[in-house]
Amino acid sequence: MNRRNFIQNTAAVAAMAGFSNSAFGANQTEVVKPSNSAKFKLKYAPGFGSFPELAGKDPVDVIKFCSDQGFRAMFDNGLSGHSVDQQEKIMAELARQNMDMGPFVLYADFSKESMVIKDSDVREMLIKKVNDGVEIYKRTGVKWALMVPGRYNEHMAWEYQTANVIDMMRELSDIAEKGGLTIVLEPLNKRDHPGLFLTGIPQTYAICRAVNSPACKIVDDMYHQQITEGNIIPNIDAAWSEIAAFHLGDNPGRREPGSGEMNYRNIFKHIHGKEYNGVLCMEHGRTLDGKEGELALIEAYRIADNF
């Protein structure tokens, strides 16, 4: 069955589930249907597993489906783990659809103290990771590589750990910049990921300013930051010069916009007003399962994008 006709014929499922009327509270009854013809104002980027019922599992089919639904970007944390052939197929289809790709994960080991300590083996490993990231950029054109500095050390003064992270990122950023890559550091919340060094936007901003390289920036995961510090829009403004990308997810639950306490419509309007042209990765789950949940996910973004 033609995907376009299928979505048009089944869009009512999401409304029947009552999602539209509850997405932004009981007092808002606006219903915004998915539109195959209208492109979203911002580059919200579904993952390749966002629409398994409607789009299947083949990456090329998923890209086509997402483009048909108005999405202008995709994200794939695991891009670096795909074969060269698979990477090339994905990027070729994205180019045909005029879509961007969000950051891929380059290093995110939550079990180790990596950048906070001075260790020659860790240093060599991280340098290799960045060199590998440069090769992925040269092959795919995806220039944003996500890194997490790892766990903090319980026995070392915080200031020394911060200095070690800055020193490491200066060295890694120099390699990345020469190769055309941009490292994006992601702070994560302490509740879901206890023990990590990097947790807040202000903290990450200070590190990026100290590193002072165009190849060291921030990916602002608003789900994590709503838990850690809130104050989403003011923190976006304060750290704007260092933000290269966003991750999305409402809180509580880490699901689609409208499912929790965050006013994503106002957040998206603010980001759009700042003329942001980067990717916003949909790194979250769905409130509903099956096809109706996937349709409701699209509708949630239509509602949040309607500013």
Query: Tens digit of pLDDT for each residue in 187-215?
Result: 999 999 999 999 999 999 999 999 999 99
Closest CA to 48 of 223, 283, 290: 283
Query: Tens digit of pLDDT for each residue in 105-157?
Result: 999 999 999 999 999 999 999 999 999 999 999 999 999 999 999 999 999 99
Outline where the chain has alpha helix (H): 3-10, 12-16, 19-22, 52-55, 59-68, 84-96, 120-140, 158-179, 201-211, 222-228, 232-238, 264-273, 290-304
Please report, for residues 102, 183, 237, the alpha-carbon distance to residue 233 in angstroms, rounded to integers and kept in the order given. Answer: 21, 23, 6
* pLDDT at residue 37, as a whole number: 62
Domain membership of residue 1 (yes or no) is: no
Name the DSSP letter for residue 151: B
Contact 34, 299 (CB under 8 A): yes
Domain membership of residue 121 (yes or no) is: yes
Domain membership of residue 238 (yes or no) is: yes
Domain membership of residue 273 (yes or no) is: yes
In this prediction, the residues of the chain whose per-residue pLDDT falls under 70 are: 1-37
Q: Domain range spanning residue 169?
A: 42-294
Domain membership of residue 84 (yes or no) is: yes
Q: Which residues contact 111 (CB under 8 A, 6 or more apart)?
A: 151
CA 264 from chain centre, in angstroms, equals 15
187: which 2 tokens? Answer: 């702070």
**Domain total for the chain?**
1
pTM confidence score: 0.89
Q: Give me the CATH number covering residue 126.
A: 3.20.20.150
Q: Which residues contact 271 (CB under 8 A, 6 or more apart)?
A: 42, 236, 246, 280
* pLDDT at residue 4, as a whole number: 44
Site of tokens 């890194």: 147
Domain membership of residue 9 (yes or no) is: no
* pLDDT at residue 33, as a whole number: 53
Domain membership of residue 220 (yes or no) is: yes
